[in-house]
Amino acid sequence: MNGLPLYPFAALVGQETLRLALLLSATDPLLGVLLRGDKGAAKSTAARALAELLPPGAPFVNLPVGASEDRLLGGLDLEKALKGESALKPGLLAQAHGGVLYADEVNLLPAHLIDALLDVAASGVNVLERDGFSEMHPARFVLLGSMNPEEGALRPQLLDRFALVAEVHAPLDTPERREILARRLAFDLDPHGFRAGWEGEQEALRSRLEHARAALGSVHLPPELLSEVAEAVCRHGVTSLRADLAVVRAARAHATLQGQSAVTRHDVETVLPLVLAHRLPPGMSPPQAPQQQSPQQSQSPPNPSAQQPEAPPPSPPSEAPGKEQHPRPDDSPSPDPVQEQVFAASPVQAPVLSVAGAGQPGRAPAPSAPERGRAVRSVPDLQPRELDVRASLQSALARSGTAILTGGDLHRRVREPVGGRLLTLLIDASGSHAQQGRMRAVKGAALALLGTLSHSDRSAVIAFRGAGAELLCPPGESAAARRALEYLPTGGRTPLAHALNLAAELLAGTDFTGGTLVLFTDGRANVPTTSDDPWQDALNAARTLRRALPTLDIQLIDTETGPQRLGRTRLLADALGATCTPLETS
């Protein structure tokens, strides 16, 4: 830590789910935690406060978003090398051994750092091979991260490494927010005096955790609970075996925090939402925690809403067609009951998107364009466009022990665009697409487009049917978008204007360097928004979107088929300033 006074964990107000997850990880270091939710909801404050609850001597290491590969993994010790000594300098992974590695904004880490973090977190060993050296050292640590989903999703492989995920939401209760404000102002005015006032509660919490850690290995796990854990995980459609193990470990940690000698069904039910919520397939509702309040150490006002992670809007699962289950984005009345179907995707080639506006996702910059973005690594290059002085010097020192560079020592910086590009799929899932298997082709074309994305690109999916539009997948990795499309049902009316308004709202709040919006529709709008004319509402929404996002590349895929066509898609494309391409169904 940086030596500044930390806000005491015991003084946190509300946020029972967040505090429970952190207390479980402080009890069992194998329970990594991801704090996911609103900006300004005390995620980082709580994570750093955890440092004072760890066993004496356990390190708490911060992983900055802008950390280099050398800083994370380790590299040549330049100071010693300049003195003629060849040695490696340990990185953050080595420093975190036996403690906590905390990654704030973990979803914004460069892809290559996430890959390295995955490998080490899985094996507990960091193998460092660079600059002519080879070294192996243990690196077992609690992986603790925080993120705001509005800034992008987390790669599913890394998300699964977190045993627990706490959904964190800023409280909307007035007395609770007033208490948060009062405590924070008191802390800022006199940090040491504020901490002294909470030292009794902090010490009691440390003592409780110390006893819980000591008793963890002796807590009895009844054999019948293993079957109940496996049944609960399977019932929620979770495939990762890490979930079962995380439930058992978290339930055992919860039992010992309660001073129990054996795990009970209540312990299992309490931790299930923390373990399963981030592993559920699309359309599956998360389990609900018992109503009993989680264990806490502060005298904070209760926050009943934080007892359970907020469930994401569910989409109808494939095994239950015929029911409209997703929430409406506005106050429109529910449509008449319709028979919905879930179609599998047909193999279809990706639509050829014309280069317009901001360009296509995944397209590399022109060779003459200057390289921009975050420097993520260095590679040998006899004629580097951007010389990496440090890496070149390291190479020379490792080779000859001197700082004299030769052509073979030169290294070029490789940069990764910050945020990448965003591909937003706007999918018409209304009943007209159930005819002639058109939805199969729509899904196939959408999946093919996702396959064209580069590693740094992101995708989002908005579907519209029934009375409104729904954000199925916020900007994130394409794997989540693929799952959302797989379970997307088809049926109901065509709320086209709603969809365009939701897309404009979503894209106005992103900070990606570029983006493409691909709209799949037959243009048969029949759900109004501001007037009695659904089609005119759709055209107005299209013009509003174009004015709000003038640099957005918009592509319209015309899905209308058959002898009787309305031909509205070209008019809609003109209003959007988009190209219009027919959907290839085979």
Please give the C-alpha separations between residue 83 and each of 79, 80, 396, 399, 409, in angstroms, as whole numbers.
Answer: 7, 5, 14, 14, 19
Q: Is 8 strand, coil or helix?
A: coil
d(CA 465, CA 533): 17
CA distance 22 to 297: 12
Residues 511/436, Cβ–Cβ less than 8 Å: no
Take residue 217 and report the two structure tokens written for it. Answer: 């290995």
What DSSP assignment string belongs to 414-467? Answer: EEE-SS-EEEEEEEE-SGGGGGGGHHHHHHHHHHHHHTT--TT-EEEEEEEETT
Q: Which amino acid belongs to residue 8?
A: P
Residue 74: which of 96, 89, 59, 95 has the closest Cα? Answer: 89
SS3 103: strand
Q: Is 413 a catalytic residue?
A: no
- Between CA 58 and CA 502 the distance in angstroms is 47
Contact 31, 164 (CB under 8 A): yes
Amino acid at 86: S
Phi, psi of 245 (to 5 degrees): -65, -40
Q: How far, in whole angstroms, is CA 221 from its chain's centroid?
A: 33
Residue whose C-alpha is closest to residue 448's, from 355, 353, 359, 358: 353
**Residue 131: what are its φ and ψ, rounded to 5°?**
55, 35
Is beta strand 421-428 parallel, antiparallel or unpaired with respect to 514-521? parallel
Residue 155 burial class via C-beta count within 10 angstroms: exposed 0-12, middle 13-18, buried 19 and up: buried
Compute the radius of gyration of the chain from its Cα atoms: 27
- Of 184, 242, 265, 363, the catalytic one is 242
Q: Point out the residues that are catalytic.
A: 242
